[in-house]
Amino acid sequence: MDLADATLDELREALAPAVATNAAFDGWNAAALDAAAGAHGVDRDVARLAFKGGAVAMIDAWFASIDQAMTARFTPEALAAMKIRARITALVEARLDIVAPNREALRRAAAILAMPQNVTRAARLGWRSADVMWRLAGDTATDYNHYTKRTLLGGIYAATIAVFLQDDSEGHADTRAFLGRRIEDIMKFEKAKAGFLARTTHRPSLSRFIGRLRYPVV
């Protein structure tokens, strides 16, 4: 892609992976951004304008590029052929494979996002990634399930990343085993929740009873 006439959004998308590669050595700072810009023939001042939010803006763009790379790895047909547990597992593992070459950059990013001033932004980024994964997995819930699923997956993904950053096992086997156990926990929770809702669907409801007193069926 010719970046000479690219928009700032297009620049962020194009430069984000290169910034991450340099951040592993230089940190999430102007030096990493300048190196990425130079490698792509982009004016440094323009690149800095595209990432005027500093380190967090760079990390945000990198995480968005991971979402895109993960999405590109799967066709709807391939995901549809899997059970829901396999879909979520495959999506998270794809993310781990994508970030593996830049694990040090991820470590530095995690430290920045853990700072008190960045906690809210970090939560938004985690939610966004969880939302992308659930949507790819075929989730269309619009009720409270929409929120509980993303909250649970976001927590599991964050915990998995913490394990991943310390994992020196071959092929990150320890991380994959940890992820498998946590996904199993989600499935057990969803099954228990579905059973509870099925048992309570036809129970007498005080609110419905009072509503009928106020607005009797005629």
Residues 6+ apart with CB under 8 A from 50: 8, 11, 12, 15
Question: Residue 185 in 3-state DSSP?
Answer: helix
Tens digit of each residue's pLDDT (9 = 90 or more) over 31-53: 999 999 999 999 999 999 999 99
Q: Please give the Cα distance from 64 to 34 (Å, whole number).
A: 20
Residue spans of alpha helices (H) in the chain: 8-26, 30-39, 44-50, 55-72, 76-80, 84-99, 103-113, 119-136, 144-164, 173-200, 206-214
Distance of CA 82 to the CA centre of its chain: 20
The reported pLDDT for the residue numbered 2 is 74
The reported pLDDT for the residue numbered 62 is 98
C-beta of residue 165 within 8 angstroms of C-beta of residue 106:
yes
Other Cβ atoms less than 10 A from the Cβ of 137: the count is 21
Q: Please give the Cα distance from 10 to 1 (Å, whole number).
A: 10
The domains located in the chain, with CATH, are 10-199 (1.10.357.10)
Tens digit of each residue's pLDDT (9 = 90 or more) over 2-24: 787 899 999 999 999 999 999 99
Question: Residue 217 in 3-state DSSP?
Answer: coil
The reported pLDDT for the residue numbered 218 is 44
Residues 6+ apart with CB under 8 A from 186: 88, 152, 153, 156
pLDDT < 50 regions, the chain: 215, 217-218
The reported pLDDT for the residue numbered 31 is 97
C-beta of residue 87 within 8 angstroms of C-beta of residue 136:
yes
Looking at residue 90, its amino acid is: A
C-alpha distances out from residue 146 to 12, 72, 113, 138, 190, Å: 29, 23, 25, 12, 12
Angle among Cα 184, 190, 193 to the nearest 5 degrees reads 140
The reported pLDDT for the residue numbered 3 is 84
What Rg, from alpha-carbon coordinates, does the chain have? 22
